[in-house]
Amino acid sequence: MNVKSVLTSSAVLLVSALGLTACQSGSTSASDATPSQQASAASVASGGKESASAPAASPSGRSTSGGSSSGGSGGSKGSTGSGNSGGTGGSGGSTSGSHATSDSYAFAHPCTAGQVRVTVTRRDSAPTQRVIEVRNTGASSCGLSYFPLVSLDDSHAADGGKAVKPLIPSGLGGAPAFPVYAGHTAYAVLDLDPSGATSGTVDGIDELNVLANGDHMPNADTVNFRLGSGSLVLKPKLGLYGATVAEAVASMRTADTSS
């Protein structure tokens, strides 16, 4: 037998056995691999690119990915405007959009005689002043002219030859009408004798005539009120409609032009 061949074969067998043992002791199955090893293997299998992972979940169970949540702003709000329909009111405006408290509805629907009740009272703190109250008795808001049409007259005179008209504030402008909500009252104040003079007054004046909405009501809707004997009338002043008596008084004091 050739000793050299035997030795060579034995050496080859020994090297192969050692190599097989090394491979068996160093192998790890996929189930035994650590997460990092699995990730590394997956990276190699995909050619070195990481696959997109699902968004992580927050404690509440909602996705914490960068996408914005819908509904955060609650949608767009109704415009705000003087009409207050469908949103927050402007000046004197309605927050519910109801016709009962809507400025825009009032601007488009003038007050009629059947929708309002007109009364006149004397101010205890100022005997020469009269408060004209126009109450909206309807179910919807309505619009009045800036001020009532007022004249002072002798109820016994057939031709109205003694009629006196009060001064009103100048520089009018703004909204198309004065809105009066359902169940609310508009006030206008008339001072029969702002100077308080007892001489030079107009004789025989005992009647106050009021047309609540001069822009839209016919003269037939004028309401007449007796002033009573002894009422002194001299250069009377009338203010614009206001939401309160105090507001109407302040407006009356600025009257400076013929009505």
Task: Write down the mean pLDDT value for the chain.
Answer: 73
pLDDT at 110 over 80: yes
Q: How many CB atoms lie within 10 A of CB 166?
A: 22
What are the tens digits of pLDDT across the range 7-49?
A: 344 444 444 444 444 444 443 343 344 434 443 433 333 343 3
pLDDT of residue 66: 35
Q: How many CB atoms within 10 Å of residue 221?
A: 17
pLDDT of residue 97: 56
Condensed to tens digits (0 to 9), the pLDDT of residues 228-253 reads 778 899 999 999 999 999 999 999 99
The whole-number pLDDT of residue 90 equals 32
- Where residue 157 falls among pLDDT bands split at 50, 70, 90? confident
Residue ranges of domains in the chain, CATH in brackets: 115-258 (2.60.40)
Mean pLDDT, range 126-140, rounded to an integer: 97
Q: Kindly tell me if the per-residue pLDDT of 124 is higher than 50.
A: yes
- What's the whole-number mean pLDDT along residues 64-68? 33
For 191-225, write each residue's pLDDT tens digit. 999 999 999 999 889 999 999 999 999 999 999 99
Could you tell me if 259 and 167 are in contact, meaning their C-beta atoms sit under 8 angstroms apart?
yes
